[in-house]
Amino acid sequence: MMGWMSNEQGLEKTKANYVPLTPLSHLKRASIAFPNRLALSYGSKKYNYLQYHKRVTLLASSLTARGINSGDVIATILPNIPAQVEAHFGIPAAGAVINTINTRLDVKTVSYIFDHGEAKIVLVDTQFLSLAKQAKRMCKGLGPEIIEVEDKDAGFPKSGDYLEYEELLNTGSDNFSWQLPEDEWESLSLNYTSGTTGQPKGVVCHHRGAYLMTMGTVVSWKLQLYPKLLIIVPLFHCNGWNHTWMMPMLGGTVYCCRDVTAKSIYTAISEENITHLGGAPIVLNSIINCPDPDKKSFSHTVEIFTAGAPPAPTTLAAIEAMGFNVTQVYGLTETYGHVTECIWDEKWDNEPQEKKSEIKARQGVAFPMMEEITVLDKNQKEIPKDGKTLGEIAIRGNSVMKGYYKNPEATKEAFSGGFFHSGDIAMMHDDNYIQIADRAKDIIISGGENVSSVEVEGVLMSHPAVMLCAVVAKVDNKWGEVPCAFVELKEGLNVTEEELIAFARNQLAGFKTPKHVFFQDLPKTSTGKIQKFELRQKTKSL
């Protein structure tokens, strides 16, 4: 090997044989390869790839003209509308870092993100102007400059108090040369975690990881040219799982969805021939339980990536009978989105539907761009692959964050032992498939026995009257903790606490059976995750 290496003189990297990886290259290529294909669609707004590329160039140019330099942070407070899609290319094309902010956050948290991320500019949908203005007033310094984005068709015309997005684009030049990264390790995005146990942490991702995520998704989702993707996953959540950066590679069409409802999903599938979408289990449940008048027929199979929480087997069984094929994936903000998939093995084809759904609920194995994903015990040793021993999911690969912004201590802890430690508790089956049992904080310890809230939720979700449920620990004088269930019922259906507990007891060990059941609408994040920390707080007063 040394002899070979010593003869490599003259084999250095050059501009001809080495280009830093970046997802921005997908759109540059698409403007040449697919100039007239529909790239972006939202109501009356429809742009082909030539127009899409031009608008992104105008955005990058106009931001640069306003003094934005390489490495500056530009925030967005936008729903899934074209400006949010364009920002994912236009902001980094100016050499800046995109910071998409959850539109449902409170003023104090948004202000913290403004300050911590040091955003120079924020693009704000008119609907959320009040949030942005209040957050800016609370900033320690001047806060970011506000650029307003109107959505007249959705009932949010511009206020006239700020420079509007289209006016901003008009100040740009379509001859602007994109500022592509000189090093693929350069920061591309800054996303903040939920911060349910303190201030949110800023997750920094790089160009290389996002590029490889787009490539890995094509393989794992078995994508071909010209897919039609309905953007359900908010683009402020893991940058929409990187799907927006991926679509130009395939000449596909992104269909924006501002307000996610079962009716709007069915309409898009039927009228636009949507082929792919992503969504949390709550989205799947809304599709299943959509009132008949709002359903529209379609004849093709729609592919769904689902993540955010382990879906109940009954949910998977019900939706697949309606013309959808669901692939369970798993990931975190720290991993750019999904990094494991439940690859289907033909040997399972003849299994009963119930068994198939149970298998599909597993989180599976690593995406092709990841190096290793396993489950480790407290000593950082791989657990037995027996389908019952629990450990923590540990992840290693190029689509893992650079680290937490301005937080070296948290970064060091997260990367101890050469893995990113997810905080998710799981088991491994003998075929190497990972299956989540819980978040570490969601494991219930009752009388010394570990109870998986996911397992209990799966049983309760199989009751015909249950729409959604969440199981958390409730303090108990005798057992330390006991399972407590919060249940959201389907419209027009009823079940009593006693009936539901008896239903669960027929399928679960006694210590796993909920001791309390409360009926209410469940608190959810904008991505459909149930906010268990709110429910845990509520148990203290029950």
Residue among 30, 27, 86 nearest 60 (CA):
86
φ/ψ (deg, to 5) at 108 = -60, -40
Helix H or strand E segment including 427: strand 420-428
Same domain assignment for residues 320 and 288: yes
**Cα-Cα end-to-end distance for the chain:** 69
Angstrom distances, CA of residue 254 to CA of 149, 230, 531: 19, 6, 29
Q: Would 214 be classed as within a structural domain?
A: no
In a domain, 197, yes or no: yes
For 263, 289, 464, 488, 499, the CA distances from 492, given in Å and listed in that order, are 19, 12, 11, 12, 17
Do residue 428 and residue 501 come from a single domain? no
Q: Would residue 185 count as lying in a domain?
A: yes
Are residues 94 and 40 part of one domain?
yes
Contact 345, 320 (CB under 8 A): no
In this structure, are 119 and 51 located in the same domain? yes
Whole-number CA gyration radius for the chain: 24
Q: Is residue 242 part of a domain?
A: no
Q: Exposure string (b/e) for 234-267, b if CB count within 10 Å is 16 or more?
A: bbbbbbbbbbbbbbbbbbbbbbbbbebebeebbe
Same domain flag for 149 and 73: yes
CATH of the domain at 502: 3.30.300.30
Q: Are residues 509 and 389 in the same domain?
A: no
Separation of alpha carbons 303 and 276, rounded Å: 5
Asked whether residue 14 is domain-assigned, the answer is: no
Neighbours of 456 (CB within 10 A): 23
> pLDDT tens, position by position, for the chain (542 residues)?
555 566 777 899 999 999 999 999 999 999 999 999 999 999 999 999 999 999 999 999 999 999 999 999 999 999 999 999 999 999 999 999 999 998 988 899 899 999 999 999 999 999 999 999 999 999 999 999 999 999 999 999 999 999 999 999 999 999 999 999 999 999 999 999 865 446 889 999 999 999 999 999 999 999 999 999 999 999 999 999 999 999 999 999 999 999 999 999 999 999 999 999 999 888 898 999 999 888 999 999 999 999 877 677 888 889 988 999 999 999 999 999 999 999 999 999 999 988 898 898 899 999 999 999 999 999 999 999 999 999 999 999 999 999 999 999 999 999 999 999 998 889 999 999 999 887 777 778 887 677 888 889 999 999 999 999 999 999 887 787 899 999 999 999 999 999 999 999 998 888 899 999 999 999 987 667 788 888 988 998 88
Residue 414 half-sphere exposure toward CB, CA atoms < 13 A: 21
* 177 inside domain: yes
- Residue ending a domain, among 440, 460, 481, is 440
User: Which spans in 149-237 are helix H?
Assistant: 165-169, 207-220
Please list, in sequence order, all residues whose beta carbon lies within 8 angstroms of the beta carbon of residue 83, skipping any fewer than 6 positions away. Answer: 76, 123, 125, 149, 165
Cα distance between residue 409 and residue 352, in whole Å: 49
Domain that holds residue 190: 24-208
What string of DSSP letters covers 364-382?
BEE-TTEEEEEEE-TTS-B
Total of domains in the chain: 3
- The backbone torsions φ and ψ at residue 419, rounded to the nearest 5 degrees and listed phi first, read -130, 155
The verdict on 385 and 523 lying in the same domain is no
pLDDT at site 20: 98
What pLDDT score was predicted for residue 336? 97
Q: Residue 91's closest CA among 36, 163, 160, 147?
A: 147
494 shares its domain with 382: no
Three-state helix/strand/coil letters over 3-62 = HHHHCCCCCCCCCCCCCCCCCHHHHHHHHHHCCCCEEEEECCEEEEHHHHHHHHHHHHHH
**Whether residue 414 is found in the same domain as residue 448:** no
Instruction: Quote the pLDDT of residue 197.
Output: 47
- pTM (two decimals): 0.86
Maximum separation of any 2 CA atoms in the chain, in Å: 78
Q: Which helix (H) or strand (E) holds 446?
A: strand 444-446
Structure-token match 């984005």, residue found = 149
213 in any annotated domain: no
Does residue 391 share a domain with residue 335? yes
Residue finishing a domain among 440, 462, 482: 440
Listed residues 440, 472, 497: the one ending a domain: 440
Number of H helices, E strands in the chain: 18, 25
Q: What span, in angstroms and rounded, lies between the C-alpha atoms of 274 and 431?
A: 34
CATH code, 176: 3.40.50.980
pLDDT of residue 280: 84
What's 356's domain CATH number? 3.40.50.12780
Assess whether 390 and 480 both reside in one domain: no
Contact, 422 vs 374, CB < 8 A?
Answer: no
Q: Does residue 295 sit within a domain?
A: yes
Nearest CA to 366 out of 330, 328, 339 is that of 339
Residues 454 and 384 occupy one common structural domain: no
Phi, psi of 93 (to 5 degrees): -65, -15
Residue with tokens 């003189």: 9
| Rounded (10°) angle between helices 262-272 and 281-288 | 80
